[in-house]
Structure 1
Amino acid sequence: MADLLTTAQMRATEAAAIASGTVTGLELMERAGAAVVAAIAAEWPDTAPTRAAVLCGPGNNGGDGFVVARLLQAAGWAVAVFAYAAPERMPADAEVMRARWRALGPVAAFAEFDPAAFDLVIDALFGIGMTRPMPPTPQAEALRARPPRLVAIDLPSGLDADTGSRIEPALSASLTVSFHTAKPGHYLAEGPEACGRLVLADIGLSSSPEIPLPEAAPRAARPLRLIEAPTMPLAKSARAHKYQHGHALILAGGAGKGGAARLASRAALRVGAGLVTLACPQAALAENAARLDAVMVLALADGYSLRGVLGDARLNALLLGPGLGLARARELVPVALASKRPTVLDADALTAFADEPQALFEFLHPATVLTPHPGEFARLFPDIAAKLAAREISKVDATRAAAARAGCTVLLKGADTVIAEASGVASLNAAAYGRAAPWLATAGAGDVLAGLIVGLLARGGAPMQAAETAAFLHVECARAFGPGLIAEDLPEALPGVLCSMAC
């Protein structure tokens, strides 16, 4: 998995590289500028050099912009540079780059910039350093209303590098070129929409010394990880039998309410659980049996009955929530959690405790995975959700805080699904850019995700890895099927996805 560095972590990485003597700040700027020009040529290979404006801010991002201006002019572009701030406010390295450009051409004031006069605009205003809104200007409004091709260096101005929130007035790019690693804001919240196409460039920091973390540093201080592949093994041993791949128990609700649990059951079986049993009230048994073949069905009346069923030690992973019903969830969840088996709680199993979240937290154990959507998250963690809504914290920080409070793994759903364990280790499954899967916004998709997680838990996956792998496969199945997807299609797309990884 790739690391996504926050603003502070990226600055520390650059400072450590410079301090080690492996690179200078000026060399990093030259490489960054060259990478931007190369990305422009690759993005629009048939575009002849014409008129380009470079907007340079008061920091090192502006220094990168001056390099881009110089290199674009050398490539035949007619370049005009507009400075957002007075030169005395620039860092030393950026001022050197400004002076190098000044030997070739003038620097005009930002107020003189007219977007309509240019075919290409380079946004080198703030990059990862933006923390407060830009004052509204006619130039920014013109860029927002009728943008030319806009290339952002690091991030479009107005996008928070750590949260993905837009700080209005914010710009949107056709192409964003960032360096060393992507930043959380490229993938979180509004980041993908604002960035256009994202290109990452190696500017020589990969070979620099890693920044050591103090032994006592919390694991939350480590970078957010971007999920790019399954994080647990998916292949099966040729000599294993079904019970060696686990037996998942999925608890369902009453008659007419079993669709969600059936979706989850099929997903659990498709992802490789050796056996899956759906347990429902007697009145719903015939309905579920008529719709399921490889998934076994079991009549289960109440919590007392569940205690008896859990006497079978081969039932090694549990799912409660999809279509379960609130009253049934309140009765069964404590019994299931008391068994200390790996357990996924979704949907009704979360909503049932909305009035008293602490009562749920007292039952939870480290092998539990909570899978709330934003509404369920707000009901369980109202204070954390309020800070997230107010943009005081990022979705990553919110999920980490929730996992620490719950003492287990939390998966907060969305196109930017964040997964965190109680220690603070966090990862991101982003359905963005080339992995965008808007078809997942369909009824039942979350039930399939919960089924994938419990199936992977049954196979022996650790909670964090099962959640990460399930989230990754969930998106890949949607991408494999494409438009027109309904939830029933997701488990059926899974064999092809798994085969593409192993066949």
Structure 2
Amino acid sequence: MRAIEGAAMASGQVDGAELMERAGAAVAAAVLKTWGMDRRRAIVLCGPGNNGGDGYVIARSLAQSGWNVVVKALAAPATADAKQARGKWVGPVEPFALDPAELDGAPVIIDALFGTGLVRPLAPGVWGALDLAQQAGCPLVAVDILSGLCADSGRVRSLSGYPERPADLTVAFHRAKLGHVLAEGGRLSGRLVIADIGIEPWHQDFLRAEGEAVVDEAHPGAVLPKETGHKYAHGHALILSGGTGRCGAARLAARAALRVGAGLVTLACPEAALTENAARLDAVMLRPIDDSASLRALLADRRLNALCLGPGLGTGAREVGLVAEVLAGGRPTVLDADALTILARDSHLFGMLHAGCVLTPHDGEFARLFPKIAAALAAEPDDERAAMSRVDAVRAAAAQAGCIVLLKGADTVIATPTGLCAVHAALRDRAAPWLATAGAGDVLAGLIVGLIARGAHGFGAAQGAAWLHVEAARAFGPGLIAEDLPEMIPRVFRTMGF
């Protein structure tokens, strides 16, 4: 944002004061739209920087709309634009403090203290004041981002804890920031409104200049309708399964791969498990695979163009051999669950990973695969060091592994070895808490391999699958179990116009 705003101002078409006026007016408009008939009283908390300058504009705009506004300043304005905005505010400016008595009637509290420019932990008392206001029932509005959240990582930068409740409203300028969707920021940002402040032309220049350094929002672009062609034109996915009694996860992945449009799906399992799987599968084909040699023979069929192993696979000698055989073949491969456990304990196999692989760890598996990166990600920020973000961590992991890494969570992050990165946030209006159920990850792996079988690149397939996974969960709603997810895919496709 600093680069984009700087380019806009350098053009001579707009200056910082005008951008501040637009930002403050946008926040005031959002507040009026949300509470205009109910509250009509606000306390605006202003910091010394440009976020505080936005606060003075907000105060003026609300006062002009008939609101009773009190401004409390943490410090005097320290930038030229903030000083100009302060000069236009004709009301009183009180010292920064909140008295419980002035919170009677629950006025709207507007946090214009630090915003995205925060570079050090908040001093004790700042979030204590916000927490006091929330306990009194006051709605809390964050200007650009809640003070104390790192805009890059979403991690908390505070020396005195942070409120348990999220902001009621965050008004962000131009685009959402990573801190609105990653880590604690995803929850604490509350309802997110994006305000246009008129800098889109310079944003496009920035995107062209930055290229792969830009983090994208995950999208379902790899999800394609079927228009022509026979089944072999849509790929043949192979899912490797564990033995008797451990095949359910692989069946979930296979069902998902078929539902997402793979032309054919084969589940390969030990011969002793064929009967169990045959009793539960119809359109999914079965092949016996007892060892690496039998897998090698099956893989002689080059029409098997996408592989998935890990769900319910097991971690014994047979499974280690299967992982080695698959990686040696170099075909596009999704590795999940037990396959990740095998990779984490076998550095030789880890070294066999190639650009066609997609790893899909949850946080625990990520820590076993990439212990040093995970330790850095878990480290608390302090005065000298900002927190590592999940984006930085997954980019580093993808570079180390030499393949695509998808780190699962409400803030799923997907990265390639070259640094391409996308975030899929299942938050706010796209929250899907019902995905916290056994087998949901196996379905995600199946969706990814199904899309790869249809011709999608692993990075696009991972994005499309993450998006479909959440949409399927939202289509079903409460009570979801993993078996329901593949059956919701046709409904999601219909909403997409397929």
Q: Which residue pairs with 1:20 in the alignment?
A: 11
Matches within 5 A, 1:118-137: 118-137=106-125
Any conservation in 2 of the 1:151–1:173 contact (CA below 8 Å)? yes
1:314-362, Cα deviation, whole Å (9 max, x unpaired): 1111001000000133110110111111100000001013223x32332
- Asked if the contact 2:73–2:93 (Cα under 8 Å) also holds between the matched residues in 1, the reply is yes
Paired residue for 2:421, among 426, 431, 447? 426
Q: Tell me, yes or no, if structure 1 residue 80 matches structure 2 residue 80.
A: no
Q: Which residue of 2 aligns with 1:475?
A: 470
User: Which range moves more in the overlay, 333-342 or 143-152?
Assistant: 143-152
Task: Indicate yes or no: 2:35 matched with 1:44.
Answer: yes
Q: Normalising by structure 2, what TM-score?
A: 0.94
TM-score (normalizing by structure 1)? 0.93
Change beyond 3 A, Cα 1:340–1:445: same
Contact 1:320 1:329 in 2 (8 A): no
Q: Residues 312 and 65 (structure 1 numbering): CA distance in 2 closer, same or farther, change over 3 Å?
A: same
Q: Structure 2 CA distance, aligned partners of 1:170 and 1:450?
A: 36
Q: Note closer, same or farther for the CA distance 1:97–1:433 as it changes in structure 2 (3 Å cut).
A: same
Residues 1:177 and 2:171 are matched in the alignment: yes
Match of 2:216 among 215, 225, 246: 225
1:225: how far off? Answer: 0.7
Give 1:207's aligned residue: 201
Match of 1:3 in 2: none
After superposition, the Cα gap between the structure-2 partners of 1:354 and 1:93, relative to the gap in structure 1 and judged at 3 Å, is same
> How far has the Cα of 1:233 moved from its partner?
4.6
The answer on whether the counterparts of 2:150 and 2:157 sit within 8 Å (CA) in structure 1 is yes
Residue of structure 2 equivalent to 1:265 = 254
Q: 2:356 matched to 1:367? A: yes
Q: Secondary structure at the match of 1:47?
A: coil
C-alpha change, 1:252 and 1:439, in structure 2 (3 Å) is same
Q: What is the DSSP-based 3-state SS (H/G/I as helix, E as strand, rest coil) of the residue aligned with 1:225?
A: strand
The corresponding residue for 1:346 is 336
2:108 equivalent to 1:116: no
Give the counterpart letter for 1:490 in structure 2.
L
**What residue in structure 1 maps to residue 437 of structure 2?**
442
* 3-state SS in 2 of match to 1:322: coil
Provide the identity percentage: 60
Q: Report if aligned partners of 1:371, 1:411 keep a CA contact under 8 Å in 2.
A: yes
Distance in 2 between residues matched to 1:112 and 1:374, nearest whole Å: 39
- Give secondary structure in 2 for the equivalent of 1:350: helix
Q: Which position in structure 2 is the counterpart of 1:291?
A: 280
Q: Deviations over 1:293-329 (max 9, x none)?
A: 0001111110111110000011111001000000133
Query: 3-state SS of the aligned residue for 1:291?
Result: coil
What are the residue-to-residue correspondences of 1:324-335 with 2, within 5 Å?
324-327=313-316, 328-335=318-325
Tell me the equivalent position of 1:150: 140
Amino acid at match of 1:300: I
Higher mean displacement: 347-356 or 398-407:
347-356
Structure 2, gaps ≥5 residues long: 381-386
Aligned-residue RMSD, C-alpha: 1.6
**1:92 aligned onto 2:92:** no
Aligned to 1:248: 237
Structure 2 Cα separation of the partners of residues 292 and 447 of structure 1: 16
Q: Of the candidates 454, 472, 494, which is equivalent to residue 459 of structure 1?
A: 454
Aligned-partner Cα distance in 2 for 1:46–1:473: 39
Query: Deviation of residue 192 (structure 1)?
Result: 2.5
AA partner of residue 399 (structure 2): A
The code of the aligned residue for 1:498 comes to F
Deviations 1:224-275 (A, max 9, x none): 1112x3122511123x000010000000000000000000000000000000
- Shift in Å, 1:141: 4.4
| Contact 1:12–1:211 (CA under 8 A) maintained in structure 2 | no
Deviation string, structure 1 residues 33-61 (Cα, Å, up to 9, x no partner): 11001111222353252x21100001100
Secondary structure in structure 1 of the residue aligned to 2:345: coil
Report the secondary structure of 2:30's partner residue: helix
Report the count of equivalent residues.
Answer: 483
Which amino acid counterpart does residue 16 of structure 2 have in structure 1? G
Q: Which residue of 2 is the match for residue 107 of structure 1?
A: 93
Secondary structure at the counterpart of residue 418 of structure 2:
coil
Q: 1:162 to 1:456 in 2, by over 3 A?
A: same
Report what 2:292 is aligned to: 303
8 Å contact kept, 1:13–1:210: no
CA offsets 1:134-172 (integer angstroms, 9 cap, x no match): 222263441354340111100111111111112234353
SS at match of 2:482: coil
Q: Distance in 2 between matches of 1:147 and 1:390?
A: 33
SS in 2 for 1:161: coil
Higher mean C-alpha displacement, 53-62 vs 136-145: 136-145
The CA distance in 1 between the partners of 2:208 and 2:253, in whole Å, is 42
Q: Would the aligned equivalents of 2:153 and 2:390 in 1 still touch at CA under 8 Å? A: yes
Q: Residue 383 of structure 2 corresponds to which residue in structure 1?
A: none
Structure 1 residue 408 and structure 2 residue 399: aligned?
no
* Distance in 2 of aligned mates of 1:139 and 1:412: 35
Paired with 2:64 and 2:36, the residues of 1 have a C-alpha distance of 17
Q: Return the match for 2:301 from 291, 297, 312.
A: 312
Superposed CA offset, 1:11-44 (max 9, x none): 1111111111121101101000110011112223
Name the CA distance, whole Å, in 2 between partners of 1:209 and 1:471: 27
Q: State the AA in 1 paired with 2:493.
A: L
Secondary structure of 1:123's aligned partner = strand
Q: Matches of 1:477 and 1:233 in 2, distance apart?
A: 13
What is the SS of the residue equivalent to 1:319? Answer: strand
Number of the residue aligned with 1:161: 151
Output one character per residue of 1:358-410: Cα deviation in whole Å (capped at 9) or x when no partner: 32332111111000011110001000000111143100000000000111100
- Judge conservation of contact 2:411–2:426 (CA < 8 Å) in 1: yes
Q: Which amino acid aligns with 1:43?
A: T
Q: Does the 8 Å contact 2:39/2:107 carry over to 1?
A: no
Classify 1:214/1:469 alpha carbon distance in 2 versus 1 (closer, same or farther; 3 Å).
closer
After superposition, give the CA deviation of every residue in 1:439-496 in whole Å (9 maximum; x if it has no partner): 0000000000000000001001101001110010000000000000000000000000
Name which of 51, 68, 72 aligns with 2:58.
68
Q: Is the 8 A contact 1:159 1:170 kept in 2?
A: no
Question: 1:113 Cα shift?
Answer: 5.3
Q: Could you tell me which of 30, 45, 56 is aligned with 1:55?
A: 45
What corresponds to 1:380 in structure 2?
Answer: 369
| Contact kept in structure 1, 2:48 and 2:74, CA below 8 Å | yes
